Structure 1
Amino acid sequence: MNKIYYLSNCNTCTRIINELNLPKGFQLQDIKTEPITKSQIEEMRALTDSYENLFSKRARLYKKLGLKDKALSEEDYKNYILEHYTFLKRPVVLFNNQIFIGNSKKTVEAAKLAIHE
């Protein structure tokens, strides 16, 4: 399944989605209005090394809850992402069993190349 997990009110996500020039058949899921399910996060995890890769340490709640001072386990990362959408590093692009996480220039370029090969 070709899918993007994003926030519709995030300018960076919107810019990246426009930049990717998506072909038909892509599903878009606004994680604020349609929260991520356990099976969805497990599907993402299967395509990457860890839940930590999917976790945003830039989230305001990360600092507010004092998580940066705690040693978080893989299960902790998973639960925090499921608990609040802000903890997912965005956007997450799933394309042909590949995953592209976040908004770094390198990641966006890699996603673009994969989608338009």
Structure 2
Amino acid sequence: MGERIEFYWLPHCTTCQKAALFLEERGIALEQRRDLKMEPLTRAEVERLARLVGGARELFSKRARKYRALGLDKRELSDDEMLRLMAEEYTFIKRPVLIIGERAIAGFTPKAYERFLQR
């Protein structure tokens, strides 16, 4: 593939495991994996990932337990609020995040990864 590949994940997340297996079955080696819990992202890193995936809304996970617990589901969050929350709490980051070169995708479905890899 030649381009730099980055993979941000949680090792115990089944969706992340499925994505890693999907890539490995296609001969894409994930030599560098970053555990979002063990190696939290800085605000600058979150901003970079958001830019690469198409914005904070594409990177922000509304499935995080804290999303409802904090009442965030009852109001509209600004991009800045989402970026702050993701930098403070890894569970707000939609995962896994796959970066190839300067392109990225957050979350995993086989169909979305197929399209992403064909670009």
* TM-score of the aligned structures, taking structure 2 as reference length: 0.85
* Residue matched to 2:50: 45
Contact (CA 8 Å) 1:93, 1:111: kept in 2 or not? no
* 5+ long unaligned stretches in structure 1: none
Q: Is the 8 A contact 2:7 2:30 kept in 1?
A: no
Q: Post-superposition shift, 1:23?
A: 3.6
In the alignment, which residue of structure 2 is the partner of 1:16?
Answer: 19
Q: What is the identity, as a one-letter code, of the residue corresponding to 2:115? A: A
Q: 1:90 to 1:75 in 2, by over 3 A?
A: same
Question: Which amino acid in 2 is paired with 1:8?
Answer: P
State the identity %: 33
Q: Contact 1:20–1:111 (CA<8 Å) still a contact in 2?
A: no
Residue number in structure 2 paired with 1:101 = 106
Moved over 6 A (4+): none
Kept after mapping to 2: 8 A contact 1:101/1:107: no
SS at match of 1:47: helix
Aligned to 1:36: 41
Cα 1:54–1:106 change in 2 (3 A) is: same
- In 2, Cα distance between the equivalents of 1:43 and 1:100? 12
Task: Give the C-alpha shift of residue 105 in structure 1.
Answer: 3.1
CA distance in 2, matches of 1:67, 1:58: 11
Query: Is 1:90 paired with 2:95?
Result: yes
Does the C-alpha gap of structure 1 residues 46 and 26 become closer, same or farther in structure 2, counting only changes over 3 Å?
farther
Q: Please, what is the CA RMSD of the aligned residues?
A: 1.8
Q: CA deviation at 1:107?
A: 2.0
2:14 corresponds to which letter in structure 1?
A: N
CA spacing shift, 1:26–1:40, aligned 2, 3 Å: farther
